[in-house]
Structure 1
Amino acid sequence: MKFIRIFMLSIIAILSLTVIYIFIFEGDIVDSEEEVTIRFAHGQPETNERHLAVIHFKELVEDQSDMNVRIYPNEQLGSEAEMIESVTLNDLQMVAASAFSQYNPNISIFELPYLFDSYEEAWKVLDGEVGQEVAEPLLEDNLRIIAYFENGMRHVTANKKIEEPEDFNGLSIRTPEFPISLATFQALGANPTPMAFGELYMALQQGTVDAQENPMANTYTSRFQEVQEYLNKTSHQYMPLPVAISDDFWNSLSSEQQDIVETSAQEAAQYHRNLIVESEEQIEEELIKEGMEIVEMDTEPFREQIESVHQDYRDIYGDELLDKILEELDSE
């Protein structure tokens, strides 16, 4: 019995040493080969151009490195505000969203109504000095903007035609919870009602709100044509889609990895922009086929109606930043 007991203790000791060896040495191997995973979230369905652009980013990154990109579309990880907050906390690595004004209101300056007359004008400003200037303060909240995806020109859908500013009087319209969006529709005489994008279809279907405003691609892929009769081409607002990465996560990457992530995001941004522009004509045709009427209009009366919004926000942003944008636009 004594021999058996000594033998069993010896076996246990050998096994313990083996486990310690594996833990120390094999653990080092696992750590040295640990792959970087980038969790990238956004708020649109998988049929939307935004998701296609994020897939393009994933392909670019994974083709050039050992990093993995996991995509979470359709508000799977919460609303835009919640996803951005997750990035600030370093619980999520990347997000493509619009709700950054809660961290720095200056980034919303691009959303002033009727600021840009074309996509090209907007891209020039976003990719230039002003785009960098408004992004820099977000670093204080662990948000590093590395590209501007496309959100598109926004138009109003409703069950009535919008042909002149008076048509907005009393209209209950869902908007994002952005101060400029609220101020714009208040200036037009509407009743703006903020709510999460994921709740919007049901709200339109049930008549909780009468109208909504979004880029054409978002309207189409979210099937709002099923519950709205008219797409009114107000072109009232351009809204970029900043892509943010956790700055803590960014600083954990090697310089080579940082370069791959940033250049891939910027290439995916232009890919997204091109997709939006190229698809809008086709989307219009599809909306018409599905029974929606497209309403063209003279936007000049609407521009005059919202001049007060520009003046109010000059007081917020200061003259310098807005004048810098206008100078860039005039330099063409």
Structure 2
Amino acid sequence: MKKKILAIAMTAIVAALGLTGCNNGMGINDDGTYTWKMALNSTEGDNAYDTGAAFAKKIEELTDGRVEVVLYGGGSLGTTSEVLEGMKFGVANVMCESIGTLATFTPMANIDATPYLFRDYDHFMETWNSDVGEEIKETVGEESGFKLLGGTYRGPRIVTATKEMKNIEDFKGFKLRAPNLEMYLETWKWMKAAPTPIAMTETYTALQQKTVDGQENPMTDSLNYAFDEVCKYWIKTNHVYSSNVIIMDREYFDALPEDIQQAVREAAEYAGVTVSEQQLQKEKEAEQELIDKGCHIIEVDTDQFIEYFKDFTDEKFPYLADWAAKIRAVGKEE
């Protein structure tokens, strides 16, 4: 009954948005070309949006214009969960988001937010372009009902705080805003901190009013939210390297002609590599901007943190232990 109600609701949404002109919102035109709607939560300049823009440009080029991708930014097609649930109904044909957003469909997607899996940028890129990366995307995609392609470096998540912190012990009792997702909450509990789920739109005020004393996100994202105004200490914990991917409904993707499928793969890989390189440069520029603004960039001994978390996955998320071991082994000599 619940699924029937959802189907009716989604059909109504598709009709209300005027998306039924292309084969009931499936993006297939009468002349055999495709016009796809890409859902994005952000706007130009954000990692996911820029990945989507690069994908759109490349696939149009690869298909000689047979596939046109129209970007819908700022969450204009709905929330992430609404879009993912409605993809099979044509609410959107493509989305760019982190793998972790699929955790509500399969717990295996929690690998995206598992702490201290990646050593650095090179290790991240090597992993997502390896058999291990493909295995993760294929398994998460198959279990969730989506096709995952590409992989864009978002930058490591760091902590911005109202006080200086350098060591594991400094985080004991530390109140910070964290996403309301099990992996993130368990990560900070492991550190004996006090994670507090707060919407991103309310985090600045929470820091201002001292409801929390810090938050964690990639450096460039944190700067975009102007957290430099309320947090003068930026601690490079580098605890999570998350990946944005191109997401399509799996059945829809499988029904596409082989040449279009191949174009999607190539465009997703191109977008991932291109925006990853851009992101690396943005990080350098963001760090210099923070220094110029009088913020303190704190380098920590990441080896200490890695050692502290060595048993975390086995104890808290044992079903991810095999993947965690495979990721950590990528690039290491036999």
Structure 1 length-normalised TM? 0.81
Specify which of 275, 278, 290 is matched with residue 281 of structure 2.
Answer: 278
Separation (CA, whole Å) in 1 of partners of 2:45 and 2:328: 35
- Aligned counterpart, 1:41: 39
8 Å contact from structure 1 (residues 54, 268) kept in 2:
yes
> How far apart in 2 are the matches of 1:227 and 1:76?
29
Please tell me the residue identity of whatever aligns with 2:51. Answer: A
Distance 1:199 1:148 in 2: 29
Shift of 1:203: 3.5
Amino acid aligned to 1:104: T
CA distance in 2, matches of 1:215, 1:176: 13
Task: Quote how far apart the aligned CAs of 1:57 are.
Answer: 1.5
Q: What is residue 57 of structure 1 aligned with on the other side?
A: 55
Q: Would the alpha carbon gap of residues 146 and 260 (structure 1) be closer, same or farther in structure 2, given more than 3 Å must change?
A: same
Alignment of 1:58-207 (within 5 A): 58-63=56-61, 64-87=64-87, 90-98=90-98, 99-137=101-139, 138-207=141-210
Task: Decide whether aligned partners of structure 1 residues 83 and 189 sit closer, same or farther in structure 2, where only a CA change above 3 A counts.
Answer: farther
Q: What is the aligned-residue identity percentage?
A: 28
The residue number in structure 2 matching 1:5 is none
Distance 1:147 1:198 in 2: 29
Deviation at 1:89, TM superposition (A): 5.3
Matched, 1:261 2:276: no
Tell me, what secondary structure is at the counterpart of 2:281?
helix
CA distance in structure 2 between the aligned counterparts of 1:285 and 1:116, rounded to whole angstroms: 24
Query: Of the two, which has the highest radius of gyration?
Result: 1
2: distance between equivalents of 1:283 and 1:296? 15
Change (3 A) 1:327 1:163: closer
Q: CA deviation at 1:35?
A: 4.3
Distance 1:210 1:87 in 2: 38
- In 2 relative to 1, CA 103–147 (structure 1 residues): closer, same or farther, beyond 3 Å? same
Instruction: Give the unaligned 5+ runs of structure 1.
Output: 1-29
Closer, same or farther: CA 195–259 of 1 in aligned 2, 3 Å: farther
Task: Please tell me the residue identity of whatever aligns with 2:46.
Answer: N
Cα 1:263/1:229, change in 2 over 3 Å: same
Contact 1:88-1:141 within 8 A present in 2 as well: no
CA pair 161-58 structure 1, distance change in 2 beyond 3 A: same
Q: 1:205 to 1:80 in 2, by over 3 A?
A: farther
300-309 or 211-220, larger mean C-alpha shift = 300-309
SS at match of 2:239: strand
For 1:34 and 1:58, locate their aligned partners in 2 and report how far apart those are by CA, in whole Å.
18
Q: CA RMSD in A?
A: 2.5
Q: Distance in 1 between matches of 2:41 and 2:213?
A: 22
Q: Deviations for 1:200-245, whole angstroms, at most 9, x for unmatched residues? A: 3343344443211111121122222223222111112211223211
8 Å contact 1:90–1:246 — kept in the other structure? no
Structure 2: distance between partners of 1:31 and 1:304? 55
| Structure 2: unaligned runs, 5 residues or longer | 1-27
8 Å contact from structure 1 (residues 314, 322) kept in 2: no
Which of 239, 245, 267 is residue 236 of structure 1 equivalent to? 239
Q: Deviations 1:42-64 (Å, cap 9, x if unpaired)? A: 33332324322221212112233
Q: Show the counterpart of 1:309.
A: 312
Which structure has more helix as a fraction of its residues?
1
- In structure 2, what residue type is equivalent to 1:86? G
Shift of 1:258: 1.8
- State the match for 1:327 in structure 2: 329
Q: Which amino acid aligns with 2:179?
A: P
What is the CA distance between 1:148 and its match in structure 2? Answer: 1.3
Matched length: 302
Alignment TM-score, normalising by the size of structure 2 = 0.81
Q: How far 1:110 moved relative to its partner?
A: 4.6
Matched residues in 2 for 1:93 and 1:214: separation?
28
**Higher mean displacement: 162-171 or 274-283:** 162-171
Question: Is contact 2:150-2:269 (8 Å) kept?
Answer: yes
Q: For residue 327 of structure 1, what is the amino acid of its counterpart?
A: A
